[in-house]
Amino acid sequence: MIRPSRGLVVAALATAVVAIVVFALTAAAAVRHNRDTVERPELSVAVDRTLRYVGPYLYCDDVLKQQCDPKQKPAEIPVQPGQTILVSLPPYIAKRPWDVSVQYLFPNGNSTITSTPHLTPGDSLIVLQSTRDALIAQIELHVPSDVQDAFGNLISQAVWAIDTLPSARS
């Protein structure tokens, strides 16, 4: 029976260990890269004949550990009085509870914010009409996490914000 030399066995083991380490480092880098480049869910927003895709204003991978993307600027999509804005939700949002807040401005200078929770999965379209008597100023859509703040309110895991004011952009 032929026995390999001790040096050959050591070299083979060292090569195997190096190959395993290189494979593990490559796999870890690929996982880290995939986690860092995960696409964020986008809203599809239509006004008149214009369609825009809106990414999150705020998105957290882990609310408890405060692993959140930096806040973005709200999307600017002007909505003139008399126009309708349609917001189509991706499955990421539609399959879970969410709520929408809409700020309206009135001719007398007052404003109000309405908030509507959608607790039943399946709703996937928001339709809002802007009028001279109630101009839509801003829309925010929130997906809550299961983490509560000090007052017992659920902290948002993701937020989409749309500035719809027509002034200075129309």
Break the chain into its structural domains and give their ranges: 1-38, 43-163
Which pLDDT score is estimated for 121?
82
pLDDT in tens, the chain (170 residues): 566 666 655 544 545 444 443 344 444 444 444 344 468 999 999 999 999 999 999 999 999 999 999 999 999 999 999 999 999 999 999 999 999 999 999 999 999 999 999 988 888 999 999 999 999 999 999 999 999 999 999 999 999 999 999 865 44
Which pLDDT score is estimated for 25?
43
Encoding tokens for residue 24?
């593990």
Which pLDDT score is estimated for 29?
43
